[in-house]
């Protein structure tokens, strides 16, 4: 692909991630997921085996997930465990492999020194009805991760239509192949985006007295929020299940409410959406006064672009207030202040590595949800060079045929 001479930007549209539709009971939809995304899952596993080897052997990873996650998932999210078993069988891998994929964020932190713990991933935002042109609830995120995901096409749009007996609404998530969840929304108007945080409260050695069943990976908490029947039940799912690393979640409902929640393993700190403008953005550092007032825990990272990326997005959205649209979010997510570690993040070639805190990280995708209209827009790669394509999430009719519509038609079950 051609390169912009001033920025390390792909001048060619990278296309779009594959949309994979699964339906039925947990094991069946997992099996379908694994079969459809088999080669992507295998590419991801090979990548994580090589990257984790810097600080963890693969047997250590297997032992960690088996000892610390498997009992908790069995206790708190058994249908998620069934779905992961299906993925394992469909992709011809082990259950532990699937657990590792779903806990990749946590495992990437294990045995990493605090001084290097500088999360550079993701900027998210939400705008409630009074701030938007059509009085819709909008939220979105730039997903900033290793360039491997973009370059090797290992992300997917996972659309899930549960069995009617489960009483779970259809949902869609942007995630890595083999994972149960990341950012997404459901057809009941719930939405979630998340950003990594580090704190000195993060733990990797489990106390069997305090945590006899272990912990859940953060990715599963996000999925459990989207499976909740109401906003209140979704909040409960996020806050009450055991976890061992910090994270930030922006959660919202089409009923015109949203919360930003900074979570540590033992506590949570809420930022309400300001009533005067009803927009909020967040990146990868703790912002709540309640957290900053604590003397027993502190920020675990060392700052970097997180300290301004949220402000850049809020500033852009404010320039459109009170007529914010999906296009306003697109503009905000293309911001290049602080390039290459900007809101729209770019990996850089080796000769320019000195210019970046994260030379191999990029915006793998940018996604915007309209919770009121049950629509979403996805851009593969940095939004300054990619194209946002629009989709609608619609419940399956009684005949079971796929009724989800796309403004731009792409194959729904391709495996790259």
Tell me the CATH number at 171.
3.60.60.10
Query: Mean pLDDT across the chain, nearest whole number?
Result: 90
- Which tokens is 232 given? 């209140």
Residue 316 is part of which domain span?
Answer: 122-406
The predicted pLDDT at position 109 comes to 84
Q: Give per-residue pLDDT as tens, 353-373.
A: 999 999 999 999 999 999 999
Whether 290 maps to a domain, the answer reads: yes
End-to-end, the C-alpha distance of the chain in Å comes to 18
Domain count across the chain = 1
Instruction: Check whether 3 has a pLDDT greater than 90.
Output: no
The predicted pLDDT at position 8 comes to 52
Instruction: Give the model's confidence band at 414: pLDDT under 50 very low, under 70 low, under 90 confident, else very high.
Output: very low
Whether 412 maps to a domain, the answer reads: no
Whether 395 maps to a domain, the answer reads: yes
Q: What whole-number percentage of the chain has pLDDT above 70?
A: 88
Whether 14 maps to a domain, the answer reads: no
Closest by CA position to 218, among listed 289, 287, 121, 305: 121
Instruction: Check whether 410 has a pLDDT greater than 50.
Output: no
Alpha-carbon gap, residue 341 to 363, rounded angstroms: 10
The predicted pLDDT at position 54 comes to 60
Neighbours of 361 (CB within 10 A): 22
Whether 187 maps to a domain, the answer reads: yes
Average the pLDDT over 212-229 and give the result: 97
Closest by CA position to 274, among listed 321, 326, 337, 221: 321
pTM: 0.92
Whether 349 maps to a domain, the answer reads: yes
Alpha-carbon gap, residue 241 to 104, rounded angstroms: 19
Whether 42 maps to a domain, the answer reads: no
Instruction: Check whether 60 has a pLDDT greater than 50.
Output: yes
Whether 261 maps to a domain, the answer reads: yes
Average the pLDDT over 96-116 and give the result: 81
Q: Per residue in 316-348, is it b (16+ CB within 10 Å) or e — as a string?
A: bbbebbeebbbebbbebbbbbebbbbbbbbbbb
């Amino acid at each position: 692909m051609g390169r912009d001479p001033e920025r390390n930007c792909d001048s060619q549209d990278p296309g779009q991630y594959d949309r994979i539709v699964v339906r039925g009971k947990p094991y069946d939809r997992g099996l379908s997921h694994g079969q459809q995304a088999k080669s992507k899952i295998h590419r991801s596993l090979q990548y994580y085996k090589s990257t984790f080897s810097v600080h963890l052997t693969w047997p250590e990873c297997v032992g960690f997930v088996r000892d610390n996650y498997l009992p908790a998932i069995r206790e708190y999210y058994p249908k998620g465990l069934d779905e992961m078993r299906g993925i394992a069988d469909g992709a011809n891998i082990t259950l532990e492999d699937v657990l590792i994929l779903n806990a990749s964020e946590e495992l990437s932190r294990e045995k990493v020194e605090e001084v290097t713990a500088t999360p550079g991933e993701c900027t998210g935002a939400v705008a409630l009805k009074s701030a938007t042109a059509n009085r819709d609830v909008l939220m979105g995120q730039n997903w900033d991760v290793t360039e491997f995901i973009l370059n090797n096409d290992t992300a997917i749009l996972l659309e899930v239509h549960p069995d009617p007996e489960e009483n779970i609404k259809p949902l869609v998530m942007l995630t890595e192949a083999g994972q149960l969840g990341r950012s997404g929304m459901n057809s009941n108007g719930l939405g979630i985006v998340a950003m990594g945080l580090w704190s000195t409260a993060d733990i990797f050695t489990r106390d069997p007295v305090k945590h006899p069943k272990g912990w859940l990976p953060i990715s599963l908490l996000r999925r459990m929020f989207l499976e909740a029947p109401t906003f209140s039940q979704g909040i409960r799912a996020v806050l009450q299940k055991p976890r061992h690393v910090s994270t930030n979640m922006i959660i919202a409902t089409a009923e015109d409410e949203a919360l930003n929640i900074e979570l540590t393993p033992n506590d949570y700190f809420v930022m309400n959406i300001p009533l005067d403008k009803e927009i909020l953005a967040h990146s990868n550092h703790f912002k709540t006064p309640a957290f900053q007032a604590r003397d027993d825990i502190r920020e675990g990272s060392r700052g970097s672009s997180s300290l301004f990326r949220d402000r850049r997005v809020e500033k852009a959205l404010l320039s459109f207030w009170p007529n914010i649209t999906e296009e306003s979010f697109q503009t905000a997510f293309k911001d290049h202040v602080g390039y290459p570690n900007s809101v729209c993040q770019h990996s850089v070639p080796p000769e320019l590595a000195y210019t970046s805190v994260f030379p191999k990280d990029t915006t793998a995708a940018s996604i915007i949800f309209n919770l009121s209209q049950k629509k979403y827009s996805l851009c593969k790669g940095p939004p300054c060079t990619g194209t946002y394509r629009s989709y609608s999430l619609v419940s399956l009719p009684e005949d079971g045929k796929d009724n989800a519509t796309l403004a731009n038609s792409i194959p729904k079950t391709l495996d790259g």
